[in-house]
Structure 1
Amino acid sequence: MLKPEQLFLVRHPVDMRCGIDVLTMYVQNSLSMPWHDGAAFLFTNKNRTRIKLLRWDRHGVWLCARRLHRGRFIWPRDGDSTWSLTPEQFDWLVSGIDWQKMSGHDLTKWTLTPVTNPMILNEYLCRKTYNIWHGYYRTSLH
Structure 2
Amino acid sequence: MIALRPGLKVVLAAQPVDFRKSVHTLSALVSEALRANPYCGDVFVFRSKRADRVKLLAWDGSGMVLVTKWLHQGHFTWPPVRHGVVYLSATQLAMLLDGLQWTRVSPEPVKRPTVVG
**d(CA) in 2 for partners of 1:9, 1:28:** 14
Give 1:131's aligned residue.
none
The superposition leaves residues 65-110 of structure 1 with CA deviations (integer Å, 9 ceiling, x where unpaired) of: 00112111111116661111111101111111111112458xxxxx
Match of 2:115 in 1: none
What SS does structure 2 have at the residue aligned with 1:26?
A: helix
Q: Determine the structure 1 residue equivalent to 2:9.
A: 6
User: CA offset at residue 47 of structure 1?
Assistant: 1.5
C-alpha contact (below 8 Å) 2:17/2:49 kept by paired residues: yes
Q: Which structure would you say has the larger RCO, counting Cα contacts within 8 Å and 6 or more residues apart?
A: 2
> For each residue in 1:111-132, what CA deviation from the matched residue of structure 2 results, as whole angstroms up to 9, or x when unmatched?
xxxxxxxxxxxxxxxxxxxxxx
Structure 1 unaligned blocks of 5 or more: 106-142
> Which residue of 16, 34, 39 corresponds with 1:31?
34
* Structure having the higher Rg: 1
Name the TM-score, length of structure 2 as normaliser: 0.80
- Secondary structure (helix, strand or coil) at the match of 1:74 reads coil
Say whether 1:17 aligns with 2:27. Answer: no
Identity over the aligned pairs, expressed in percent?
31
Change (3 A) 1:32 1:103: closer
Moved over 4 A (4+): none
Greater share of helix: 1
CA distance in 1, matches of 2:105, 2:92: 8
Matches of 1:79 and 1:25, distance apart in 2: 20
Find 2:101's aligned residue among 98, 101, 110: 98
Distance 1:31 1:86 in 2: 18
User: Which residue, out of 39, 45, 49, partners 1:46?
Assistant: 49
Unaligned 5+ residue runs, structure 2?
109-117
How many pairs align? Answer: 105
- Determine the C-alpha separation between the residues in 2 that align with 1:69 and 1:46: 16
The structural deviation recorded for 1:9 is 0.8
